[in-house]
Amino acid sequence: MTHLLSSIDNKTALGIGLPVALLGCYGAYQWYRSRDLPPGPIGLPVVGRFPWLDPNQLHLCVEQMSKSYSDVISFRMGSKLMVAVCNYDLIRQMLNDDNFTGRPNAPFLKRITEGCGIVLSEGEMWTQQRRLALKSLRDFGFARTRSAEMVDVQLDIIFELLEISIEEKQSLRVLDAFTEATNGVIAQLTLNRRFKRDEKEFEFFNTTLKTFFNTPVVLNLPLFFPWMNTIVQLMPATNYFTKLMLKLHVFIREQIRIRESILVDDSMEPECLCDVYIQEKRKAEKMGDFETFRELQIVRVVLEFFLAGTDTTARSLEWLLILMSVHPAIQKKVHSELDKEVGSDRRTQTSDKPSLNFTTAVIEEAYRFLSLAAVGAFHRAKSEAVFHGYRIPKDTIIIPCVYASNHDPRIWAKPDEFYPEHFLDQNGVFTGTGKNVPFLIGRRACAGEGLARMEVFLMFTAIMQRYRVSLAPEFVGKEAAILKGSLGLLRKPGEHKLVFERRANDQFNVTV
């Protein structure tokens, strides 16, 4: 009997003691792992903070954690240590440090890119490709006259669509029209090609790009759970999306062939980014270097300008029109300024910017308020470092939280309101972009900022010159949900449609 009792006691003791001991070990391990790290919430074994993070509103979760802990916080997603930086000065300091210019190792994308291109590359390869891409785009009038002419061509197409919607008294989702327009601009800049709207090749390209933007999140999970890599590789979706990307590669390769056949003589003036790369490739090969400008490199750079430069710009325009619909008084002030400073017998030009203080402030405020790339693009610590007094281990994933910085009440008078006065002085003069970081800052900042700003300014002002925009009646009252939207790679507005009206009368005619 005594023996039986003592055996029950032992079992009970084991039943309670073992979990307590395991928990104690886990706690001690966590404590050891997180010594000197930025403060932050503890997560669960294996999954880390995943169960607490809403991927559709990740920017708000990060902002909330930073309010509870500090401007620099750490937490785990799966087995990966994440450090989020939520303060302008610290973002600036971090992104100017070469150690934080790495990119996380996303296995799905890495298999496709093989380290080529700009967006995911690192080190010497990245520096070289980025410098050349920026230089060649500047040389073709990047953000200057030539690109402005390309925008004009695209505007004609947008106006055609808006006119049809007015004639047919239909409400409209504008995103597709803007995506086509921004694709058109990039096609001309990178490939010197002007696609026609209904051209089969362009339709295929547009649709494939659009599908790729909807790559399921699960394909990128091995970034946080490396043990999932093999499982994800075997999934049908991986196969489907890899094939899709390779189709885009084939399309760009065909375009490179066309440019190569035109560029027969090396002394010919390059006409687009692709030409510059072809000439550099030929030069390098003459010197025996077959790696730096191998064809995949050119393919990736061109494709990345489409991937990074179309949806971003198109979404900014879509959001701007939503904001004008939700704030009719602000829209009215934009109309008045455009009428007074530009009139109705020509389209706006970039040179009009200095006289369009209010409109420029509205655009800048939209960039801030939206913070389109709300959690930026992830960076990676290339080696262990001390930042702001905290230890940042090698391979930590860095989140430069654009949204938290752009909604920081220490910087912005009304952080959660759409308030163009953030960028105006007492005399109504535009004060400059200040601490607004929609394109991020530092060594890896957006390579297309100049082009994006020019496209958004010219397209938005041209539309405002002609049209008044409002929410379709069935969406009135749903403004809060539309503005809240959700976060994929970029912040998307909630379900909505817009209605356009000609502003003056049917004779209103703005010519180029």
Binding residues for heme are: 446
Strands 498-502 and 491-492: unpaired
By CB under 6 A, which span of 158-166, 253-261, 303-311, 353-361 interacts with ligand HEM? 303-311
130 lines the binding site for ligand HEM (CB under 6 A): yes
- CB 251 → ligand HEM: shortest distance, Å? 18
In angstroms, what is the minimal distance from the CB of 455 to ligand HEM?
7
Residue 458 makes contact with ligand HEM by CB under 6 A: no
Binding mask 355-394 for ligand HEM (x = CB under 6 A): -----------------xx--xx-----------------
Residues pairing with 497 in the sheet:
none
CB 311, min distance to ligand HEM, A: 9
Alpha helices by DSSP H, listed for 169-217, are 175-191, 200-213
Q: Examine residue 106 and tell whether it contacts ligand HEM (CB under 6 A).
A: no
Residue 75 dihedral angles phi and psi, to the nearest 5° = -160, 165
CB of 408 to ligand HEM, least distance (A): 17
Q: Which is nearer to ligand HEM, 315 or 466 (CB)?
A: 315
Looking only at residues 84 through 103 of this chain, which bind ligand HEM when binding is defined by CB under 6 A? 95
Q: What share of the chain is helix, strand, coil (3-state, %, to 5)?
A: 60, 10, 35
Nearest one of 249, 214, 254, 245 to 488, comparing CA atoms: 214
Stretch that binds ligand HEM, among 32-40, 43-51, 423-431, 443-451 (CB under 6 A): 443-451
Among the listed ranges 43-51, 171-179, 248-256, 445-453, the one in contact with ligand HEM (CB under 6 A) is 445-453
Binding mask 193-232 for ligand HEM (x = CB under 6 A): ----------------------------------------
439 scored as a contact of ligand HEM (CB under 6 A):
yes
Using DSSP, state whether 499 is helix, strand or coil. strand
| Cα–Cα distance measured from residue 8 to residue 14, given in angstroms and rounded to the nearest whole number | 10
Task: Indicate whether 59 belongs to the interface with ligand HEM (CB under 6 A).
Answer: no
* Residue of 274, 342, 440, 458 interacting with ligand HEM (CB under 6 A): 440
Which residue from 83, 118, 278, 464 is in contact with ligand HEM, where contact means CB under 6 A?
118
Binding range to ligand HEM, per CB under 6 A, among 36-44, 76-84, 348-356, 433-441: 433-441
Q: Taking CB under 6 A as the rule, which mask of x and - marks residues 311-350 in contact with ligand HEM?
A: -xx--x----------------------------------
Give the amino acid at 319: W
* Cβ neighbours for 179, distance < 8 A, ≥ 6 positions apart: 206, 210, 310, 311, 314
Pairing state between β 397-400 and 80-85: parallel
Q: Are 137 and 451 in contact (CB under 8 A)?
A: yes
Asked whether position 309 contacts ligand HEM by CB under 6 A, the answer is yes
**Per rule CB under 6 A, is residue 489 in the interface with ligand HEM?**
no
In the complex with ligand HEM, which residue's Cβ is closer, 118 or 362?
118
Q: Are 358 and 349 in contact (CB under 8 A)?
A: no
For helices 295-309 and 236-262, give the axis angle rounded to 10 degrees.
110
Is residue 395 within 8 Å of residue 57, measured between CB atoms?
Answer: no
At its nearest, how many Å lie between ligand HEM and the CB of residue 437?
Answer: 8
- Closest approach of ligand HEM to the CB of residue 149, in Å: 16
Of the residues 65, 221, 381, 447, which one makes contact with ligand HEM according to CB under 6 A: 447
Shortest Å, Cβ 490 to ligand HEM: 8
Collapsed DSSP state (helix, strand, coil) of residue 488 = coil
Q: What is the 3-state secondary structure (H, E, C) of 345-383?
A: CCCCCHHHHHHCHHHHHHHHHHHHHHCCCCCCCCEECCC
Residue selected from 444, 466, 491, 496 as contacting ligand HEM according to rule CB under 6 A = 444
Using DSSP, state whether 332 is helix, strand or coil. Answer: helix
DSSP helix/strand/coil, 42: coil
CA 126 to CA 301: how far, in whole Å? 11
- Closest CA relative to residue 137, chosen from 55, 97, 192, 213: 192
Write down the least CB distance from residue 483 to ligand HEM, Å: 17
User: Would you say how long the chain is, in residues?
Assistant: 512
Q: How far is CA 170 from the centre of its chain?
A: 30
Phi then psi for residue 72, to 5 deg, are -120, 120
At its nearest, how many Å lie between ligand HEM and the CB of residue 446?
3
Question: Which residues are annotated binding-site positions?
Answer: 446
> Which is nearer to ligand HEM, 370 or 499 (by Cβ)?
370
| CA-derived radius of gyration, the chain | 26
Give the residue at shortest CB distance from ligand HEM: 448
Give the total of residues touching ligand HEM (CB under 6 A). Answer: 26
d(CA 37, CA 49): 16
The CA angle 62-68-73, to the nearest 5 degrees, is 55
Q: Which residues bind ligand HEM (CB under 6 A)?
A: 95, 118-119, 130, 186, 304-305, 308-309, 312-313, 316, 372-373, 376-377, 438-440, 444-448, 451-452
